[in-house]
Amino acid sequence: MDQKIDQIKKEIKCFHIKTYNDLETFRIKFLGKKRGILTILFKELKKISIHKRKIYGKIINELKKEVQKKIFYYKSKNDNEKILKYDPTLPGKSIEIGSIHPLSMIKNRIIDIFLKIGFSYVDGPEIEDDWHNFTALNIPIFHPSRDMQDTFFLCQSPDILLRTHTSSIQIRYMKKHRPPFRVLSIGKVYRNETISSRSNFMFHQAEGFYIDKKVSFSDLKQTIHYLITSLFGKEKIRFRPSYFPFTEPSAEVDIYCNREWLEIMGCGMIDPEVLKNVDIDPEIYSGFAFGVGIERLALMIYQMKDIRIYFDNDIRFLRQFKNEF
């Protein structure tokens, strides 16, 4: 044993450390959790008598301290050298200046388009309660249409959630204001969806609604035409009958792009039940509403195929967009 210890002592002293890798090899050789020389010696102590164990235990502990001292010495030396290498005359790291995100450009553009025809812009909370996100919009608990939007719930409470759509803004606004009004809102929405080129767990929606006496489906059609032609110039669109619990009748709007029809938004006449839920008399007032995905629009505007690229935050990608709007 004594001979062995002398040999280890020599090895610790003579081990040549120059690089960070050497330092790691040194540490592992002596203190490695499985095969470190000292680790094995500590294990072997269990096999000898208590008397000898005390003596050798002390000696091996001393060796361990030697190893740790050497590691500490080279680590601090390395850090000091790094400081010494600091040269204040070298050019500093330049701070990258960002640009307006393409999704924000489209958002601002849509706001502009609607402000021109008398809409006001409002914001709403991303953390919602069940009533604003579902129930008041005519989506009661256990209604199968809740499955259309896979929801993230918060605080283990089934009542608090991340809004799955911006339609909750309709309820918030209509509760507080009396018609007539025209409102636009744009913001993030969340759904528990697998990330792919076309979907993400978070995306942006624009929500618009207009309530007055005698608002009709033709007002809705005209407004959507105005939005699409303002965004794309002349474009072919079609209204396809659809279903949403909060509108009746409901439609989906498709746009003709690269020789195919692409679905871009949902819309319809606000269901009388929804108006009743916010104390607006459906016998006097009627209204339309629509919801559109901003990322979808962006893919078409910029002729791209994958929405994930908007969230990579790669400044080289983001810089390619000019704020043309």
**Can you name the residues that pair with 157 across neighbouring β-strands?**
154
Residue 136 burial by Cβ neighbours in a 10 Å radius (0-12, 13-18, 19+): buried
CA neighbor of 228 nearest in space, from 276, 156, 292: 292
Q: Which is nearer to ligand DAH, 17 or 168 (CB)?
A: 168
Q: Which is nearer to ligand DAH, 290 or 310 (CB)?
A: 290
Residue 140 makes CB contacts below 8 A (sequence gap 6+) with 134
Q: Note whether 248 and 268 are within 8 A (CB).
A: yes
Judged by CB under 6 A, the residue of 133, 138, 185, 247 near ligand DAH is 247
Q: Is 56 helix (H, G, I), strand (E, B) or coil?
A: helix
| Interface region with ligand DAH, contact rule CB under 6 A, candidates 38-46, 86-94, 287-295, 296-304 | 287-295
Q: Which is nearer to ligand DAH, 165 or 182 (CB)?
A: 165
186 binds ligand DAH (CB under 6 A): no
First-residue to last-residue Cα distance in the chain = 82
Judged by CB under 6 A, the residue of 56, 74, 134, 290 near ligand DAH is 290
Q: Which is nearer to ligand DAH, 278 or 318 (CB)?
A: 278
How many residues contact ligand DAH, by CB under 6 A?
11
Distance in angstroms (rounded) separating the CA atoms of residues 185 and 206:
6
| Interface region with ligand DAH, contact rule CB under 6 A, candidates 59-67, 98-106, 272-280, 285-293 | 285-293
289 binds ligand DAH (CB under 6 A): yes
Distance in angstroms (rounded) separating the CA atoms of residues 108 and 117:
15
Q: Which of residues 215-244 bind ligand DAH (CB under 6 A)?
A: 244
Q: Which is nearer to ligand DAH, 187 or 266 (CB)?
A: 266
Strands 181-190 and 120-121: parallel
Cα 110 from chain centre: 22
Distance in angstroms (rounded) separating the CA atoms of residues 80 and 83:
5
State the minimum distance, in angstroms, from the CB of residue 180 to ligand DAH: 17
Distance in angstroms (rounded) separating the CA atoms of residues 229 and 33:
68
Judged by CB under 6 A, the residue of 268, 274, 286, 310 near ligand DAH is 268
| Interface region with ligand DAH, contact rule CB under 6 A, candidates 90-98, 150-158, 224-232, 262-270 | 262-270
207 binds ligand DAH (CB under 6 A): yes
- Which residues make up the interface to ligand DAH (CB under 6 A)? 165, 167, 207, 244, 247, 266-268, 289-291
